[in-house]
């Protein structure tokens, strides 16, 4: 990359911050310039290699904001630290592409952007569910090709997602939000699989079931599956929301797909490698009534051979967080992490009631804290006081 491939904002700033992609909105840049940062933003739409990242740091770099699509290995993080960086902040809630253990050994805080993607990503999973179940993409192709010659009783028949059984693999923030949307909206019975019991979700579904009974309707149910196979065999719709680790890579493979119902729908808006994509392509080819909706891919941006030719698979290009509010909010949180560390401010989320990142996203002065540093405890970074700081405290 040459010098003209970079845009410089606030060139007189005393802290040099490298940002590997142009980010939406203006607030994130305002936060960094207010922290006296010179911000260098890559104009490239290509994924930067580790060599390109290290070249961008040069001899001096105080912080970097990077992407989920990049590899931040121990070597690259070491180069960043050697250039004098005080923080690496990721423009994403997930960070499986970052060697956090290496960063911690280097004394380098790693930031991320939780709390702003939950509803947006869950909505996208809902959209994929219905696009696949109701064959929306197929219908769109028929119309655009001029192949619609009139209504027919048997044309593009799909699945009715109502009073069916919903399976959620990974009942964290996004998985639980998706579950609530589907159960409330379509009166589905919920089966979830997670290493942890989600008592809050179970109580929520129980309250909704009581509401239905009070209105003379059949209640919905919720239970935690003992095994993944148990969930897969029982559910009409399965949505994947697990965290990607070495243990969960290819969580869904040929054997798991074979355990699902013939006309089931599977959705993945979490991480591509959770699903063996080649096995999924083979399964969808062999079972044309089985349907899939994918937002993420195992070797993104590439897809498994043959996947794009399958009518029973809906494909979108990693749009889970793609709303203006969310993407701008992510940029704000990533920049707020950097600004806080460079200014020596403490960490956010010190006590119950201070876990919400919304105070960073409004028009008011944000808290003088880093919204989310994933290795803060391991690094012994100070936390904000138990009460939210007042304007007087922040002077």
Active site residues: 271, 300, 318
C-alpha span between 376 and 100 (Å, rounded): 11
Neighbours of 203 (CB within 10 A): 11
Could you give the C-alpha distances from 112 to 100, 116, 234, 353, 369, in angstroms and in order? 11, 11, 35, 19, 14
Could you give the C-alpha distances from 154 to 150, 157, 158, 311, 388, in angstroms and in order? 12, 6, 10, 17, 60
Neighbours of 92 (CB within 10 A): 20
Pairing of strands 63-66, 15-19: parallel
Residue that the structure tokens 């008592």 belong to: 199
Q: Is 353 left (phi over 0), alpha (psi -120 to 50) or beta?
A: left
- Do residues 310 and 285 touch, judged by C-beta distance below 8 A? yes
Q: Is 135 left (phi over 0), alpha (psi -120 to 50) or beta?
A: left
Which own/partner contact pairs does 354-359 have at CB distance under 8 Å and 24+ positions apart?
354/384, 354/388, 355/115, 356/115, 357/113, 357/114, 357/115, 357/116, 357/329, 357/333, 358/115, 359/388
Which residue stretches of 106-158 are H helix?
Answer: 118-133, 136-144
Residue that the structure tokens 């491939």 belong to: 5
C-alpha span between 197 and 224 (Å, rounded): 7
Residue 134, token pair as written in the block: 């109701």
Pairing of strands 63-66, 87-90: parallel
DSSP classification of residue 236: S
């Amino acid at each position: 990359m040459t010098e003209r491939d970079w845009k410089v904002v606030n060139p007189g700033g005393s802290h040099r911050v490298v940002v590997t992609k142009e980010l939406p909105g203006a607030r994130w840049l305002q936060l960094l310039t207010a922290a006296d940062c010179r911000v260098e933003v890559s104009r490239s739409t290509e994924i930067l290699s580790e060599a390109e990242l290290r070249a961008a740091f040069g001899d001096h770099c105080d912080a970097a904001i990077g992407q989920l699509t990049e590899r931040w290995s121990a070597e690259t993080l070491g180069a960043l630290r050697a250039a004098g960086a005080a923080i690496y902040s990721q423009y994403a809630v997930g960070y499986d592409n970052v060697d956090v253990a290496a960063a911690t050994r280097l004394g380098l805080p790693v930031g991320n952007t939780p709390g702003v993607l939950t509803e947006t990503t869950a909505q996208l999973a809902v959209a994929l569910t219905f696009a696949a179940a109701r064959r929306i993409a197929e219908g769109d192709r028929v119309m655009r090709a001029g192949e619609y010659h009139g209504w027919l009783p048997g044309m593009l028949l799909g699945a009715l997602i109502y009073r069916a059984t919903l399976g959620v693999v990974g009942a964290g923030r996004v998985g639980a939000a998706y579950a609530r949307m589907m159960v409330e909206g379509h009166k589905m019975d919920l089966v979830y699989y997670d290493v942890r019991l989600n008592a809050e979700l179970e109580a929520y579904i129980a309250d909704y079931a009581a509401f239905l009974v009070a209105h003379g309707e059949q209640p919905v149910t919720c239970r935690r599956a003992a095994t993944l196979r148990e969930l897969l065999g029982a559910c009409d719709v399965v949505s994947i929301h697990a965290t990607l680790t070495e243990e969960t890579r290819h969580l869904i493979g040929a054997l798991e797909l074979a355990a699902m119902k013939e006309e089931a729908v599977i959705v993945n808006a979490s991480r591509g490698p959770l699903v063996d994509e080649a096995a999924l392509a083979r399964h969808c080819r062999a079972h044309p009534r089985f349907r899939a909706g994918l937002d993420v891919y195992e070797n993104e941006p590439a897809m498994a051979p043959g996947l794009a030719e399958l009518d029973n698979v809906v494909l979108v290009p990693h749009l889970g967080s793609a709303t203006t509010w969310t993407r701008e909010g992510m940029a704000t949180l990533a920049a707020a992490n950097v600004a806080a560390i460079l200014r020596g401010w403490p960490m956010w989320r010190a006590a119950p009631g201070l876990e919400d990142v919304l105070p960073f996203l409004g028009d008011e002065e944000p808290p003088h804290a880093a919204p989310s540093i994933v290795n803060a405890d391991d690094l012994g970074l100070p936390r904000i006081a138990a009460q939210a700081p007042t304007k007087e405290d922040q002077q």
